[in-house]
Amino acid sequence: MIATCTGSLSKNLKAGQLLGKGVGADRLTDHMPTLPEGVNTMQSLHELIQKHSLQLPLSSGLHQVVFGQKSLAMLLASLPA
């Protein structure tokens, strides 16, 4: 898992850098040929969380950050200490 997000050729790393610069998930393919697996996995995980009424605040919050529903600062402030 570490290699898939830290390698210089990593699509997940590039997507994270773009998201950090304010590029929305819906615009990632403007900057790269395909969505990285991490973005698709995050959407699948979100659907499972909803389907099974799971309480996973970090995963749900990251989905909101990636898909532009919440800022990272708002997510961090909302997590329990």
pLDDT at 51: 97
pLDDT digits (tens, 9 = 90+) for 17-45: 998 888 888 899 999 998 888 888 999 99
* Tokens (6 digits) for 44: 């699948």
Domain that holds residue 16: 2-78
Residue 29's SS3 state is helix
Closest to 45 measured CA to CA, from 26, 58, 33: 58
Q: How many independent structural domains does the chain possess?
A: 1
Q: What is the pTM of this model?
A: 0.77
